[in-house]
Amino acid sequence: MWLDIMSQYNTLQVNIKLANLLGLKTAVYWAELMNVYSRVISKKLDELHENDGFFELDRSYIAKRTTLSIDEQLEIDAGLAKLDVVYTNQIDPNLIRLDIEKLCAILVDDDPDMIKALQKKAKLKQADESAAKRGAVKVQLFSSILETDVDLLEAYKDWISMVVDSKKIINRKTVEVFQINLNSYTDSKQVKLKLLELAAIHAYNDFAWVRQLYEKDYKGNGTFIGVSQKKGIGIDPNSGF
174-209 pLDDT, tens digit per residue, is: 999 999 999 999 999 999 999 999 999 999 999 999
Do residues 82 and 190 both lie within one domain? Answer: no
- Can you give the pLDDT at residue 227? 38
Residue 133 domain flag: no
Do residues 119 and 152 both lie within one domain? Answer: no
Sign, CA torsion 198/190/56/7: positive
Do residues 106 and 169 both lie within one domain? Answer: no
Residue 181 domain flag: yes
Do residues 9 and 86 both lie within one domain? Answer: yes
Q: Has this prediction a pTM greater than 0.85?
A: no
Residue 32 domain flag: yes
Do residues 38 and 97 both lie within one domain? Answer: yes
Residue 66, Cβ neighbours under 10 Å: how many? 19
Q: How far apart are CA 200 and CA 162, in angstroms?
A: 6
Do residues 109 and 203 both lie within one domain? Answer: no
Do residues 115 and 198 both lie within one domain? Answer: no
Residue 82 domain flag: yes
> Could you give the number of structural domains in the chain?
2
Domain hosting 60: range is 2-125
**Average pLDDT score over the chain:** 88
Do residues 62 and 172 both lie within one domain? Answer: no
